[in-house]
A and B are shown apart, each in its own frame.
Chain A
Amino acid sequence: MLTLQCPYCGVWAEETELHAEGEAHLKRFGPESDDADFESYLFMRENPKGVHFERWRHASGCGKFFHAARSTTTLEVFGTYSAQTLEPPKDIKDKISAKYPGWSWREFS
């Protein structure tokens, strides 16, 4: 059972206090998009072994959605950060690079 720190209220929350909300940094494709882009937005997910970026919600707490960067293999959490951003913050990316030089995840590295 994971613990994650909510970046909004600061609470170290147990997994049971949180709700997993799927992959982070999805780019929404709307009515004007072509089939390939829309399919990718709806269905294509990373499912990596290692570095991953996820959305979580502090559902039984402050109610905020946030992002978490963690390793799916070691369960190490590199950090949690605001959901209101289009890419992971530099300090978290640097932390990952220190552990996993040359990592990449979708367009981020």
Chain B
Amino acid sequence: MSTRLATGGRLLNKAKQVTFSFNGKQLTGYEGDTLASALLANDQMLMGRSFKYHRPRGVVASGAEEPNALVNLGAGGKFEPNQRATTTELYDGLSATSQNHWPSLEFDVGVVNNYAARALPAGFYYKTFMAPAAAWKHVFEPIVRHSAGLGKAPKDRDADRYEHYYAFFDVVIVGGGVAGLQAAKTAGLAGASVLLMEQTAFWGGRAPVDGGEIDGKATDDFIDATVTELEAMDNVTLRNRMMGAGVYDHGYLLGYERLTDHAPALAGPRHRLWRIRAKQIVTATGAIERPLSFAGNDIPGVMLASAVRDYVANFGVSAGDRTVVVTNNDDAYRTAIALKNAGLDVPVILDARATGGGALAEEAKALGIRVENGKAIAKVKGGKRVTGVAICAQAGEGSVLEDIACDAVAMSGGWSPVVHLWSHCGGKLNWNEKYAMFQPDPNRPPLSHDGNPFVVPAGSAAGAQTDTDYEGFSLFETLRTAHDAANKVCQALGLNVPDLKTPSVSEHDEVALEPVWLMPQGAGTKLRMKAWLDYQNDVKVSDVRLAAQEGYESVEHTKRYTTLGMATDQGKLSNINGLAVLSDALNQPIPATGTTTFRPPYTPISMGSIAGEARDEVFQPLRRTPIHDWHEANGAFFEPVGQWRRPYCFPRGSETHADAVKREINQTRNSVGLLDASTLGKIIVKGPDAGKFLDMMYTNMMSTLKPGKCRYGLVCNENGFLIDDGVVARIDEDTFLCHTTTGGAERIHGWMEDWLQCEWWDWQVFTANVTEQYAQIAIVGPNARNLIEKLGGDMDVSEEALPFMAWKDGKIGAFDARAYRISFSGELSYEIAVPASQGRAFWDVVMEFGKEFDIMPYGTEALHVMRAEKGFIMIGDETDGTVIPQDLNMQWAISKKKGDFLGKRAQLRDHMASPDRWKLAGFETLDGSVIPDGSYIVAEGKNANNQRNVQGRVTSTYYSPTLDRGIAMGLVHGGMNRLDDVVEFNKVDGGTVAARVVDPVFYDKDGEKQNV
């Protein structure tokens, strides 16, 4: 059984007991425990079920690389799935449940998959669900969906707060082990601004567990002294519980700080995402131990040797009473020695190397531990817990030599440097034959904007340097490379490197490992089918070999076919072993197979931290017109238009939106209505060449416009497609004011600037986007003039003084106003601009004086309906980025005199002149109903995809209160040549609705109402 030892536990505060629950069971641990160590202390080795076969799984590792011990944490708004028990710090009241089982962890129905494992090989899904097509929807998909996913998706709103934090440093060091600390000290003394981050709660990494002495003192003392030294430096920032999540272009680095996960009662945000620009990055991210591939290596109780040792040293927890150690290197002997020294039994150390180990092996033997060289595990016995191992010769095919009873297995297949951050932004790797690992190639680092390297690996993360005679990941080399890395970044920063010596170290010499990718070497199919590579996704040696056999030679393809390394642990334990097996199957060296791509984040980060503060009202800025508050106070139903909110309508009492729109239209058509048009884009174009410039921007002639007059214009892009429209007013000889659509203001302003800055930079024109400088209010309807005259002021707004398509400055009431006689409704209409600061006051006055005309505001829906009744186009309805003005019968707005304008050349292309283009027409349903939005005009026959042929589509469709019937505009093959034809629009229910092709101007064809 796994249990708490009487002694040990350097990270624990044994004075403080902590209560937590696992699957509803109340358990206790100590402050300083992780959830994994506390569960082990309570003999809860079984922590989850695997994804595909639902095999019972226990914890394998002690850190971020853990693939098995994933749990659901918390409840309600604090619920989060797939949390690693090994990186979850224990706190009072923590509540965890295990995942991927039904009805319980101990007894799981899905485990039938395990017994059917032979029928579920690599690529099972691809091979099985091919046909018949209908079976996918009704049979396969429901089954797959039911079994997909490990944890549950949260159902409630995230109750926590998250934030982003921007930071800038000369040097960021990722990893607070002895290498990171040493590098921080060197860089700190050189005067650089330094950030040192460590993903766990404590400093020093695994050096204190592994032993050795630095400068004649225990590693713990070196760590404490260095942290104290760093804390005293003003230019050094230390952050623990913060992971380097990803390295990106030009020194951009994401730091994921977990502020309250270990103590939810703390105030403040739960996670903080640091968005850092670093001039130089040191990756002191350490190394991860590899599992060995032998049959039954996933049975709960089989763990990484380093993890077994961590649990003893850090948490005073034993994984088992009798632990068999199996290894291909010297490091695992440390585990055997630690276990023995803790009073636990180590029946045997199986060393796959025929020649055995070095000094550590001698020490183990001296402690009385039996050591078997050249031996291996044939298979592990047990179901939900290890009960023993069968041992065999590594060189053979697995003939059992001896059975040994045990309740834990500590395995070590060697170590892989954590090269993720080095690789994220393009750092390349070399295969180190001697130590069987990929390591950073110092000659091919990630490059920054200046073409110089910006990432330097340090310590174990740098791998082994082949030009030195050290063996393995020695403490000395760790400190030496850290010091060198810091020197390198200081030089790159132009700082004087401090005169520091690498500390002296005393440690055991190690002899080299022997690569072992399969145990025993000649294991047959039966054993290979039980030798796991990827625990989380249930990928075995046999799966990778099958993939190779079926032609998946690229490691990237094999990964996707078998799902090797595609789980939430991203193959931290499995990838190297997997590609070694693939290389063996393909009969090629490992570097020829290569690695899959390392992608950020290093371990999953919370969605909340990615969003940061960007939720609810701060998700994006809201633009408000000067009259917005009035709309809000008067019950407006808003719709988003770009970043604005515009009133869609102003429902009264229990009125429906449709009724409100109808009322607003009838009032406007019969008396007077009011529209807040402040969101319309307003761009000043000024300068001696302004007219010439606008002649290029608009399809029609603007330079001939007289001051005091307005002209409607169309804007096209160089593809000839219509992108915006609006009324241009000439203010004086040199100045124009261009109205754009609400959504187009910034875009059209940018478009103008683009041509002025990059093409015609010698033209004398300035532009300014003054959209928000004015409140613009449209007073619309037959009583509009009567109302304005009642407001007083000095402006003559009579037909003679201010005719249709003219504008005028003056006083309306007490307000400085500019009145434009323009109409988007077909009614007598004045759009009146006043300074934004006076917008609300002006609106209030108009509402007050308008009472006798029953004045009411109208919203965007009434605006849309009224313009559609008049056959006016709307950018975004009648246009979709593929429509040219000619499609909309707007030849009248395209100058034939101008030699050039943007879009002119494109409109000359033969496709644009084709008589087959769909063109604008109006439509009236025969039964008076409203054509559904998005409807197509169907044609005879079907196309190659068995879809109904079409000959056009609706672009605007409304119920017209004025005509009391459905009206529509649309694009149809033949356009207005089809007048009086009856066509069929499809409906959502599968039927069609018949409509007659008519003139799109449904109301006041001669313009008698607006031009008065």
Please give the residue numbers on chain A whose beta carbons come within 8 Å of chain B beta carbons, in ascending order: 1-4, 14-15, 19, 21, 28-31, 33, 35, 38, 41-42, 55, 57, 59, 63-65, 74-77, 83-84, 99
Contact = CB atoms under 8 A, between A and B. Distances in A.
Given A63-B753, A74-B426, A30 B250 contact: no
Contacts of B252: 1
Contacts of B451: 74, 76, 99
10 contacts: A1-B250, A3-B251, A3-B449, A42-B906, A55-B758, A65-B753, A65-B757, A75-B447, A76-B448, A83-B757
A64 B95 CA distance: 55
A57 B754 CA distance: 9
Contacts of A64: 757
Interface string B885-900: 0000000000000011
B908 interface: yes
B250 A75 contact: yes
Given A21-B754, A74-B447, A84 B250 contact: no
Contacts of A84: 757-758, 761
B699 to A, nearest CB: 13
B450 interface: yes
A70 B905 CA distance: 32
Contacts of B226: none
A76 B449 contact: yes
Interface of B: 248-252, 277, 426, 447-451, 718-719, 750, 753-754, 757-759, 761, 899-900, 904-906, 908-909
A42 B753 contact: no
A59 B750 contact: yes
Given A42-B906, A74-B426, A75-B249, A28 B759 contact: yes
Contacts of A83: 757-758, 761
B450 to A, nearest CB: 7
Contacts of B900: 30-31
Contacts of B899: 31
Given A31-B908, A77-B449, A1 B719 contact: no
Given A1-B252, A4-B449, 18 more contacts: A2-B249, A2-B449, A3-B249, A14-B277, A21-B754, A28-B718, A29-B905, A30-B900, A30-B904, A30-B905, A42-B906, A63-B753, A64-B757, A65-B757, A74-B426, A75-B249, A76-B447, A76-B450
Contacts of A14: 277
B451 to A, nearest CB: 4
B750 A57 contact: yes
A1 B252 CA distance: 7
A85 B451 CA distance: 25
Contacts of A3: 249-251, 277, 449
Contacts of A74: 426, 447, 451
Contacts of A38: 905-906, 909
Contacts of A33: 905
Contacts of A1: 248-250, 252
Nearest to A70: B449
B895 to A, nearest CB: 12
Nearest to B452: A76
A31 B898 CA distance: 10
B907 to A, nearest CB: 9
A20 to B, nearest CB: 13
A64 B447 CA distance: 27
A89 B708 CA distance: 46
Contacts of A21: 754
Nearest to A74: B447
A4 B719 CA distance: 30
A44 B584 CA distance: 46
Contacts of A57: 750, 754
